[in-house]
Structure 1
Amino acid sequence: MTREDLSFVGSAGMTLLRLTFLGTSAAQPTLHRNLSGLAVKADADLLLFDCGEGSQRQMVRYGTGFTVDAVFFTHFHADHYLGIIGFLRTLGMMGRAQPVRLYGPPTAKRVLHQAVHLGVEQLAFPVEIHELKDGDSVRREGYTVHAVGVDHRINALGYVLAEDDRPGRFHLEKAKALGVPPGPDFGRLQKGESVTLPDGTTVRPEDVLGAPRSGRRLVISGDTRPCASLTRAAKDADLLIHESTFSDDEQERALETRHSTAREAARVAHEAGVRRLILTHLSSRHDTDPSKLLVQAREEFKGPVEVAHDGLTVEVPLRD
């Protein structure tokens, strides 16, 4: 797959960007933490990033709804994707008719085809499976999801959800001074369209709008060692969600399994200059008391940092 638009035409930015953590445990579920899953509400869209076993129950529990447009898998270790089997069956029983799009790194077509067709008759709605590699992107309305190659034991991706730049602020007094009548022409100018006044004068958007405002950027590491590709992708991100499976005293295990410690995740956040860091994908030994992870991360990253828990809901505010 090339770096291409996968069938959606965008517009300038979004209003809502809300995240709900469905699962924050690594490798195995615990009494308090489910396997990996993140629901992202991006205006009208509902996206999933990974779908560990039990994700659909978490969606009921935390009220995300089931109107999922696309699922992005970071990799195909079982704890990150087996939940898609039951989730698709549930959508079928609910009368789903619209397509569901599934994205992931190579082996996605083979692995997900097997999952989609496991043990049941044909689903009543289309399931589209797309493989992504480092540098590919998926265009959606008002934003783009970029795939970033990361460093794990198998082929794996992180993802960047990048909102379109938003138009500059509308200067009402400038518009009035140029003779633009209040009403629909104000809206056209704000949308980037020129308007022609009754006397034949053309007023361009740049005549009444300030400089474009940067869109929000959400970065999801998936399972990975700290790596330059993700650090670059996370530059100046509004929020970095980075795995932090281990603490300092488990560094050797982190290297062996190609995971990160909380301190290493925080270093990535510091080097990338992100605005906020959330740690997730915790080893069971940190299940009920992740305080050690938080202390070690805060020694490396001075911005806001927290440890995710199942059900944590975060809204990423507009930059202005």
Structure 2
Amino acid sequence: MELLFLGTGAGIPAKSRNVTSIALKLLEERQSVWLFDCGEATQHQILHTSIKPRKIEKIFITHMHGDHVYGLPGLLGSRSFQGGEDELTVYGPKGIKAFIETSLAVTKTHLTYPLVIQEIEEGAVFEDDQFIVTAVSAIHGVEAFGYRVQEKDVPGSLKAALLKEMNIPPGPVYSKIKKGEIVTLEDGRTINGEDFLEPPKKGRAVVFSGDTRVSDKIKELARDCDVLVHEATFAKDDVKLAFDYFHSTTEQAAVTAKEAGAKQLILTHISARYQGEASSELQKEAAAVFPNSITAYDFLEVQVPRG
């Protein structure tokens, strides 16, 4: 599990930061990539990375402001030209379906793959045997969501050496043992598969705040997460601007991470007013409250290790 920041700016593109898009690379877990938001020129940013558009399986949109969605029509169309055949699902607030379908229709864009568009509400928006994705409402003046990607606990690995010591040769029985089943062997012995498994590996959690004022719902969404990606559009002294424009400051993001018990905070959605040295000061402001804070920049890659 790895985060790749394709765009870390707020509002409009800048020379040093493109608008918002974050890739969650799940190549080891499911051979796919999930995107969170898809601002203008996201597909241009992807060209500078190892990401293959055909590997993009899901796109989660936090809200319908242009700096979070203008890149969608181009990326969806280009995916057809780049070998995309597998189904792609877009999740987002009300309006995302009309935006995508209208854009594709008026440009006569034909897709070579199945496209599913789900307009979401609060709660679980996706779940399978590996992950559950939960959405809660953010505070942003328009309908907006934050997302939590929770990896389910991974079963412990098989104690193969112990099985061999007990003269239990490899074969179909190993798959039953790995499921923790009670197994009767050919020689009549009965064993409990759970006795031959390492402890399960705790699943990881990554939370995306989307654009938001300080929010108790986002704080609860981030409870004990491994990584909180939180918007920090403004510096701590610009708290009134943040409130007026439905955004957060560096310090507010850090307080959220601290109170949620997050392990790491990554600041993103940085206003273009903070350039050069001013940008580097943002991390210091957050770290004064929550030491394990970093400020994202375009093409930053962050591994999400197991705890």
- TM-score, normalized by the shorter chain, greater than 0.5: yes
Identity %: 37
Give yes or no for contact 1:20–1:312 (8 Å, CA) kept in 2: yes
Match of 1:70 in 2: 58
What is the CA–CA distance in structure 2 between the aligned matches of 1:188 and 1:287, rounded to whole Å?
A: 58
Aligned length: 302
| Contiguous gaps of at least 5 residues in structure 2 | none
Give yes or no for contact 1:190–1:209 (8 Å, CA) kept in 2: yes
Give the partner amino acid of 2:19.
L
From 175, 186, 199, the counterpart of 2:187: 199
Q: State which drifts further: 250-259 or 173-182.
A: 173-182
Q: State which drifts further: 212-221 or 167-176.
A: 167-176
> Equivalences for 1:89-104 in 2 at 5 Å?
89-104=77-92
Q: CA deviation at 1:45?
A: 1.4
What is the CA–CA distance in structure 2 between the aligned matches of 1:218 and 1:109, rounded to whole Å?
A: 26
What is the CA–CA distance in structure 1 between the aligned matches of 2:191 and 2:275, rounded to whole Å?
A: 59
Give the partner amino acid of 1:315.
Q
Q: CA deviation at 1:238?
A: 0.8
User: Quick one: structure 1 residues 226 and 178, their matched pair in 2 at CA, closer, same or farther if it must change by over 3 Å?
Assistant: farther
Match of 1:20 in 2: 4
What is the CA–CA distance in structure 2 between the aligned matches of 1:98 and 1:141, rounded to whole Å?
A: 19
Please state if 1:59 is matched with 2:43. Answer: no
Give yes or no for contact 2:77–2:110 (8 Å, CA) kept in 1: no
Q: SS at the partner of 1:229?
A: helix
| Contiguous gaps of at least 5 residues in structure 1 | 1-16
Give the partner amino acid of 2:8.
T
What is the CA–CA distance in structure 1 between the aligned matches of 2:33 and 2:120, rounded to whole Å?
A: 20
From 15, 26, 37, the counterpart of 2:21: 37
> Equivalences for 1:72-151 in 2 at 5 Å?
72-140=60-128, 142-151=130-139
Give the partner amino acid of 1:89.
G
Give yes or no for contact 1:157–1:222 (8 Å, CA) kept in 2: yes
Q: State which drifts further: 59-68 or 264-273.
A: 59-68
Please state if 1:47 is matched with 2:34. Answer: yes
| Normalised TM-score (structure 2) | 0.91
Please state if 1:301 is matched with 2:290. Answer: yes
Give the partner amino acid of 1:131.
E
Q: SS at the partner of 2:47?
A: helix
Q: CA deviation at 1:62?
A: 1.9
Give the partner amino acid of 1:236.
D
| Normalised TM-score (structure 1) | 0.87
Give the partner amino acid of 2:297.
H
What is the CA–CA distance in structure 2 between the aligned matches of 1:36 and 1:140, rounded to whole Å?
A: 27
From 217, 223, 227, the counterpart of 1:239: 227
Deviations 1:241-280 (A, max 9, x none): 1000001221111001110001000001100111111100
What is the CA–CA distance in structure 1 between the aligned matches of 2:18 and 2:180, rounded to whole Å?
A: 45
| Alignment RMSD | 2.0
